[in-house]
Amino acid sequence: MNYYEDVLGLIGHTPLVKLNRLNKGLKPLILAKMENLNPGFSVKDRIGISMIEAAEREGLLKPGGTIVEATSGNTGIGLAIAASVKGYKCIFVMTDKASVEKSRYLKALGADVVITPVSAKHGTPDHYVSTARRIAAETPNSFYPDQYSHPANPEAHYRTTGPELWEQTEGKITHFVSGIGTGGTISGTGRYLKEKNPNIKIIGADPFGSIYKTYKETGKIPETTPYLVEGIGQEVLPGNAHMQYVDEVMNITDAESFDTARQLGRVEGIFCGGSTGTNCAAALRLAHDLDENAIIVFIVCDTGEHYLSKFHSDEWMKEKRLLEPQKITAGLICDTKGARSPKSLVVVAPGDRVADALAKMNELGLTQIPVLEDGESVGSLRENHLLSTVFNDRDLLEGPVSKVMEKGFPTVDVDTEVNVVTRKLRTSPAVLIEEYGRITGIITRYDVLDTTGADVN
């Protein structure tokens, strides 16, 4: 028989996957370390069990004990998985920046979750780390791992991630790229790889607004500014960030991180979180200046599932103004129309009574409506034109729509870019959207103005 004793046996030994399309034109071999394939779908599974077993050995965690930790989510998941196998309780403190998927995930694993405001400054009572410390102090038989300083965090990567990369690349790895949150991944893996070959370059990928790049280059901690990527970057230097193993830190914007993470799914089939996008963007930038002898490995920190309501959602990206204008399509405009528009397409048929069509437009507050026959656009009604027509000949009210309709609105495919839609709206008050040969939506001039701020005229 072939089985694992428990789910913890699935942690680590994650494969490397070669990039084939995103790196087009670049010479180095670029490999993704698939930490999203851990049982909790992140790199943090490695440190969850590592910190728990260290605490058990040191007598800090006893049967029936409660684990309390401040986490952006993934460490919580790693701890919760190990805790559920071993029978411990968990309380996690997260900020309201962390995705709702992560807090639901933690609850599904049996943990209690406390949410604090992301705006609380480090050191103040509401900060998520201070809150976790306080809860730990108030909870009997509790253990506060503190991933930011616990030596078992970098040690897990020194013991497992580093050796795996060395073996998987047969010692040929030349560059290792990782985000820096607590610093555990880059410090432990970096130390191991440097001990094997001091020429291996260890590259930190850091969001603009975080301290690491400035700290590495000047030794000073700068003022931080907010950014949206989760799990990496810092406002203070954690004990586990051993920057002596890091050769260089690259700053990556939120827009580039999210765009790269989305591309990884679309062109490589690697469905990942935003910090993976940060790492991959840094790896690609690095590859520009390297030749075919370079072998770059970057960490796929976690799964995209945690961010379906965030950067993997076009609506969220648009709200944060992170979606490039050329990527706004007819379908997106239609999907994100304000609440004033009916959710499904409202149409009339050429044989409908004009009075009924007018009543429908009135009731729904529509100024124009398409006329469809057998799913084809055959005409349109515009309120102004229709009212003046029936005003002059009231008998038309009882007649069919076909008698009073104007020419049909033009049709565009759902993937048509906004500039094409805008051009059509110069000569027509609305365009219809076609999806797989079926008319599914309508865009008016107002919708485009509302979505893009575009100059329609």
Ligand X SMILES: Cc1ncc(COP(=O)(O)O)c(C=O)c1O
Which residues of the chain form contacts with ligand X (CB under 6 A)? 44, 72, 74-75, 179-186, 230-232, 273, 275, 301-302
Residue 171: left if φ>0, alpha if ψ -120 to 50, beta else—which one?
left
| DSSP-assigned beta bridge partners for residue 302 | 42
Residue 73: left if φ>0, alpha if ψ -120 to 50, beta else—which one?
left
Taking the least distance from each CB to ligand X, the nearer of 186 and 297 is: 186
User: What is the nearest approach in angstroms of ligand X to the Cβ of residue 178?
Assistant: 7
DSSP H or E run through 249 = strand 248-252
User: What is the nearest approach in angstroms of ligand X to the Cβ of residue 63?
Assistant: 28
| DSSP-assigned beta bridge partners for residue 298 | 32, 177
User: What is the nearest approach in angstroms of ligand X to the Cβ of residue 188?
Assistant: 8
CA dihedral in degrees (284, 286, 288, 294; nearest 10)?
-100
d(CA 432, CA 423): 14
User: What is the nearest approach in angstroms of ligand X to the Cβ of residue 42?
Assistant: 6
d(CA 323, CA 379): 34
User: What is the nearest approach in angstroms of ligand X to the Cβ of residue 166?
Assistant: 18
d(CA 287, CA 30): 8
Taking the least distance from each CB to ligand X, the nearer of 131 and 182 is: 182
Cβ burial, residue 282 (10 Å; 0-12/13-18/19+): buried
Say if CB 395 and CB 362 are below 8 A apart. Answer: no
Taking the least distance from each CB to ligand X, the nearer of 160 and 185 is: 185
Amino acid code (one letter) for 274? G
Taking the least distance from each CB to ligand X, the nearer of 304 and 331 is: 304
Taking the least distance from each CB to ligand X, the nearer of 184 and 370 is: 184
Cβ burial, residue 198 (10 Å; 0-12/13-18/19+): exposed
Say if CB 188 and CB 156 are below 8 A apart. Answer: yes
Amino acid code (one letter) for 416? T
Taking the least distance from each CB to ligand X, the nearer of 94 and 425 is: 94
User: What is the nearest approach in angstroms of ligand X to the Cβ of residue 258?
Assistant: 13
d(CA 427, CA 358): 23
d(CA 429, CA 421): 11
Taking the least distance from each CB to ligand X, the nearer of 74 and 174 is: 74
d(CA 378, CA 236): 64
Per the annotation, the verdict on 220 as an active-site residue is no
Nearest residue to 192 (alpha-carbon basis) of 216, 232, 156, 168: 156
Active-site choice (44, 213, 310, 337): 44
Token couple for 36: 């999203």
Around 202, how many Cα atoms within 13 Å sit in the side-chain half-sphere? 27
Taking the least distance from each CB to ligand X, the nearer of 41 and 143 is: 41
Say if CB 307 and CB 273 are below 8 A apart. Answer: yes
Nearest residue to 183 (alpha-carbon basis) of 343, 34, 75, 24: 75
User: What is the nearest approach in angstroms of ligand X to the Cβ of residue 161?
Assistant: 9
User: What is the nearest approach in angstroms of ligand X to the Cβ of residue 50?
Assistant: 12
Strand pairing category for 201-207 and 248-252: parallel
User: What is the nearest approach in angstroms of ligand X to the Cβ of residue 1?
Assistant: 35
> What are the helix (H) ranges across 269-313?
274-288
Nearest residue to 133 (alpha-carbon basis) of 143, 121, 141: 143
Taking the least distance from each CB to ligand X, the nearer of 272 and 390 is: 272
Which residues are tagged catalytic? Answer: 44
